[in-house]
Amino acid sequence: MKLWGGRFKNEESKLMEDFNSSLSFDKRLYFQDITGSKAHVKMLASCGILTEEEKEKITEGLNTILKEIESGILKLEGDYEDIHSFVETNLIKKIGNVGKKLHTGRSRNDQVAVDMRLYAKEKALEIVNKMEALQQVVFKLAEENPAIMPGYTHLQRAQVVTFKHHMMAYHSMFSRDIKRLEDAVDRLNENPLGCGALAGTTYSIDREITTKELNFKKTVDNYLDGVSDRDYIIELISCFSILMMHFSRLSEELILWSSKEFGFIEIDDQFATGSSIMPQKKNPDAAELIRGKTGRVYGALTSILTTMKSLPLAYNKDMQEDKEPFFDASDTVLKCISILIEMLGTLKVKKETMLKAVKKGFLNATEAADYLVNKGMPFRDAHGVIGSIVLYCEEEGCSIEDLSVEKLKEFSSLFEEDIYDFIDYENSLKKGIKKLML
Ligand code: ARG
């Protein structure tokens, strides 16, 4: 079933029909397509291009189609070229010839552009909402666990931090993810309807009416750009990619921390799986899958960037390839957020193991150097003195705080009894700017 054919002598090949058809995936756009059409018809009537009666009939027909799709009476299948032909053909079947007036002053090029912008905006805002829910879970987990833990650089124990502060690092990343998505939505919030195929239309339409009706901020400035711009899809998938990169870092930490080697956390059984051969195994599959799916979202970004590369203006059929990567990437992100919300909400933090790791790691070496600096030693010299103490302790199998003042004095006469308080882990967190971690 086609919306064209007048200028063709031969039938389209079956193979081509199938190759060309996008209904199997753009059927998701049925709501946006019908919403866009209703706004278009309303505008056409306001501009005197359709009569009020025609508008009523078409709108009623569109509403019926929407209801029938949503109740499952009308199945989104068949040999239609795309969702636009599906809706239009079914409209004509339902209301007869007046349905043929729906496409007045419009092309599928501005139609698909408006559908995708509406869909992309909705999805991005849905992701923003879910990210805010995830942030709340992260915040709660952080607040409930101000326990001290080793902080790492190069994945080597570096300085003491708190689990709370560590988790709040992700909270900060997620705030940026949200802001990035909101910024992208702000940029895409322009109405392409009325651009026609590429050069507007000879009818005296009013683009402001559909702009208001569809809740866009403004109309696009340029017709050619309006129908061929897919920046917003690229931008949103870039935002998703950065967000997934953050998720993959968090997942990697959850995987490491839940291993016997770290033992800092316990992932709830609900989000782990066992091994078919090794009875003792509990695998952090949910976190591994999030880490793995990051690659899939990056793939979507590469796909859309490559599709758009070098395309001449304006619309080209290549652009039909924008949909599957966007659908897949946004679905993936939403699924990952849902899993993270549940997994972090049920996470157990093992503060004793973290404390043990802190004690074994010379995590107060920097503070010990600061102590000497406070007593007047230049930092570079203090760094050297503490370095020798660490070497000594490693040989002796003890920690800095285990050494007596007499022993410490062998390394520097500046050490006094107050060193122990100064390098005490809890105390050091209470000092200066570090208080932020508590
Ligand atoms: N299915 C098409 C797409 O997603 C709709 C636009 C078709 N336009 C055209 N000139 N054939 O891009």
Helix (H) or strand (E) holding 76: none
Of residues 177 and 1, more confidently modeled = 177
Rounded Cα distance, 340 and 138, in Å: 9
Q: Tokens for 148?
A: 């001290």
Scanning the structure block, which residue is given the tokens 């302790």? Answer: 393
What's the pLDDT at 67?
98
Once rounded to an integer, what is the mean pLDDT over residues 228-236? 98
Once rounded to an integer, what is the mean pLDDT over residues 375-381? 97
What's the pLDDT at 2?
73
Q: Which residues lie closer than 8 Å to 200 by C-beta, 6 or more apart?
A: 194, 223
109 lines ligand 1 (CB under 6 A): yes
- Ligand 1 centre to CA of 180 (Å) is 29
Residue 163 near residue 354 (C-beta atoms within 8 A) = yes
Residue 305 near residue 319 (C-beta atoms within 8 A) = no
228 lines ligand 1 (CB under 6 A): no
366 lines ligand 1 (CB under 6 A): no
319 lines ligand 1 (CB under 6 A): yes
Rounded Cα distance, 76 and 191, in Å: 26
What's the pLDDT at 281?
76
Sorting pLDDT into bands at 50, 70 and 90, what band is 255?
very high
What's the pLDDT at 49?
98
Dihedral Cα 207, 212, 217, 222, nearest 10 deg: -10
What's the pLDDT at 272?
85
**Whether pTM exceeds 0.75:** yes
What's the pLDDT at 1?
66
Catalytic residue among 154, 204, 276, 310: 154
- Ligand 1 centre to CA of 112 (Å) is 7
Q: In a 3-state reduction of DSSP, which class is residue 103?
A: coil
What's the pLDDT at 256?
98
> What percent of the chain clears pLDDT 90, i.e. is strictly above it?
90
| Burial of 195 per CB tally in 10 Å (0-12, 13-18, 19+) | buried
Sorting pLDDT into bands at 50, 70 and 90, what band is 274?
confident
Domains and their CATH numbers in the chain: 14-101 (1.10.275.10), 109-153+162-195+217-348 (1.20.200.10), 362-437 (1.10.40.30)
Sorting pLDDT into bands at 50, 70 and 90, what band is 360?
confident
Residue 361 confidence (pLDDT) above 90:
no
Cis peptide bond N-terminal to 113, omega within 30: no
Q: Is 154 considered catalytic here?
A: yes
112 lines ligand 1 (CB under 6 A): yes
Q: Which amino acid would we find at residue 77? A: E
- Ligand 1 centre to CA of 60 (Å) is 25
Distance of CA 193 to the CA centre of its chain: 28
Q: Please identify, by atom number, the ligand 1 atom nearest to the C-alpha of residue 83.
A: 1
- Ligand 1 centre to CA of 389 (Å) is 71
pLDDT tens per residue, range 36-51: 999 999 999 999 999 9
Rounded Cα distance, 363 and 348, in Å: 24
Ligand 1: which of 25, 28, 82 to mutate, most ligand atoms within 8 Å of CB?
82
Q: Which residues of 138-162 are buried (b: 16+ CB within 10 A; e: fewer)?
A: beebbeebebbbbbeeeeebbbbbb
Residue 43 near residue 209 (C-beta atoms within 8 A) = yes
- Ligand 1 centre to CA of 17 (Å) is 13
What's the pLDDT at 111?
98
Once rounded to an integer, what is the mean pLDDT over residues 128-142? 98
Q: Is 40 considered catalytic here?
A: no
